[in-house]
Amino acid sequence: MNLTILSLIAVFSLSCYFFGKSKVLKQTKISGKKFHSLPEYYGYYLAAWCGLPALIILFFWSFSELYIVKLFILSDFRADPSIDENKLNLIFSEIKSIAEKNFSGTIPQNLVPYVEKFLSLNKILELSKFAVIFSAIIFSLSFAYSQILKNIRARESVEKVIRVVMFLCAAIAVFTTFGIVLSLLFESIKFFTAVSIFDFITGTNWAPGRAFVRDASVQTADVENVFGAVPLFWGTFFIAMIAMCVAVPIGLFSGIFMAEYASRKIRRIVKPLIEVLAGIPTVVYGFFAALTVGPFFRTIGEAVGLNVSSESALAAGMIMGVMIIPYVSSLTDDVINAVPVSLREGSYAMGATKSETIKKVILPAALPGIVGSILLAISRAVGETMIVVMAAGLGANLTINPLEASTTITTQIVTILIGDQSFNNPKTQAAFALGLTLFFFTLVINIIALNIVKKFREKYE
């Protein structure tokens, strides 16, 4: 339905454009009347008046439609005090899926009249949507047409619209951040009313599977001591550190070599090749870590008499480190190139060798930039999901042994939310609380890192 209306609006707007343009052209030809703007601007003007109000109405209507239907349908159920909000939602989604013929199982007979009501209400709303939108189009078109005949300054109006649309597009970034924060907060607050925030941050036992909820009302006994997130925080930190142990030395030295030693030709080949490492999907690394690296470590461990679990923090961390190498190397390369040549020349003039210049002059000068790049790499490692999901295991162990399985924030979010999940249950909400933690942690690191890099750039530019 919406698609039909959308395509109709598009067709109307397009024909309005051609109509407006030819109308103005004809008028100039016949009566010699001079218009303020070029003819196509009158076309755009008419098209904008045709399309924009209709689109705005369609947008808001489509979002409020379901709520209006819900309000009407559920008014009977609301009278019953024994039915709470969660149950109301459940009833409504049941009615909806029966009406859309997606319902599996036997249809409860008491819902049948409501399904009919739902269908008839939907029909009325659809028809009235159609009517409202098309009367809006006719109304705004007749207004715009009269304005054209009055020789309005069409270009200025059109340009104003273009600017507003552009601004809205740019503002989507802000809306997205709001959407993220709100959706995470909304569920997290529900979670923290059931589980104390203190237990979440300091508890050391993570076993959300045990938090079964038999009723809609949450029993505190059920959720106590199973949502301690410390093992997850530790696992995340631990695996990220293993990754950085691989990525920082290799990335740093490759960056230095590419910036200072490599000839232009070698650099042009090697730099994109290393960046390929960052372009490979993380699920590929996860597959490689789980299927090749994990068992490989296991055989080595068996050979020297160590007990290595096939899903180990070491395998996941190492492969994650490989993935992160290009983030460190490319940024190092960039910041070293940003250090002024005069510093280098001064050092060479004093008789220093290349490595002495790098170690004593360039690296100290580029240090803030390098620290920033390492911080960005850490935030990348903390938020990385697929490698740890596939290779690090699920057991929430609080261990410093890299050969054991260990779990992370992202792994737990995926395991909790994968497949079918019921909402309004602390286990599901815990995933959102973890997401919130992850979001704020990476946000803080990113802001610090971006500021350091920005300050560094300003210093030398």
Partner 1 sequence: MNNKEKEIFLRKRYSAEKRFRFFGISSIIIALSFLCILLINIFTNGLSAFSRTEILLKINFNEKKLGINSSSTDKEIKQANFDEVLQDALLSLAPNAPELKQAELMDLVSIDATTELKKFYLKNKDVLNKTAEVAVTLSDDIDQVHKGNFPRDIPEDRRRFSDFQLKIYDEQSSKNKIISEFNWPFIFNADSREPEIAGVGASLMGSFFTLIVCLLLSFPLGILAAIYLEEFAPKNKITEIIEVNVNNLAAVPSIVFGLLGLGVFLNYFYLPRSTPLVGGLVLALMTLPRIIIPCRAALKAVPPSIREGALALGASKVQTVMHNVVPLAMPGTLSGTIIGLSQALGETAPLLLIGMVAFINVVPSTPLDPSSVLPVQVYLWSESAERGFVEKTSATIIILIFFLAFMNSFAIYLRNKFEKKWS
Site for partner 1 in 317-336 (CB under 8 A): 322, 325-326, 329
Build a one-symbol-per-residue string for 101-130: x at contacts with partner 1 by CB under 8 A, - elsewhere: ------------------------------
For position 198 contacting partner 1 by CB under 8 A, the verdict is: no
- Which residues, 33 to 62, sit near partner 1 by CB under 8 A? none
User: What is the spatial distance between Cα 178 and Cα 170, in angstroms, rounded to a whole number?
Assistant: 14
- Encoding tokens for residue 425? 């249950």
User: What is the spatial distance between Cα 309 and Cα 231, in angstroms, rounded to a whole number?
Assistant: 18
Least distance CB 276 / partner 1 (angstroms): 6
- Quick one: which of 1, 300, 418, 460 contacts partner 1 (CB under 8 A)? 418
Site string for partner 1, 7-36 (x = CB under 8 A): ------------------------------
Closest CB to partner 1 among residues 163, 210: 163
CA dihedral over 374, 380, 381, 382, signed as positive or negative: positive
Given the complex with partner 1, which of 140 and 379 has the nearer CB atom? 379
Q: In angstroms, what is the minimal distance from the CB of 459 to partner 1?
A: 19
291 binds partner 1 (CB under 8 A): yes
Provide the minimum distance between the beta carbon of 435 and partner 1 in the complex, in angstroms, as a whole number. Answer: 4
Least CB distance to partner 1 at residue 215 (A): 21
Q: Which of 210, 238, 227 is nearest to 434 (CA)?
A: 227
Binding-site residue total for partner 1 (CB under 8 A)?
Answer: 89
Range 384-413, binding partner 1 (CB under 8 A)? 384-386, 389-390, 410, 413
Stretch that binds partner 1, among 8-16, 108-116, 244-252, 363-371 (CB under 8 A): 244-252
Instruction: Give least dist CB 291 to partner 1, A.
Output: 7
By CB under 8 A, the residues from 256 to 275 that bind partner 1 are 256-258, 261, 270, 273-274
Among 113, 249, 346, 364, binds partner 1 (CB under 8 A): 249
With CB under 8 A as the contact rule, which of the stretches 5-13, 43-51, 191-199, 381-389 interacts with partner 1? 381-389
Q: Does 358 bind partner 1 (CB under 8 A)?
A: yes
Residue 20 CB, nearest approach to partner 1 (Å): 18
CA distance 398 to 143: 70
Closest to partner 1 by CB, 187 vs 365, is 187
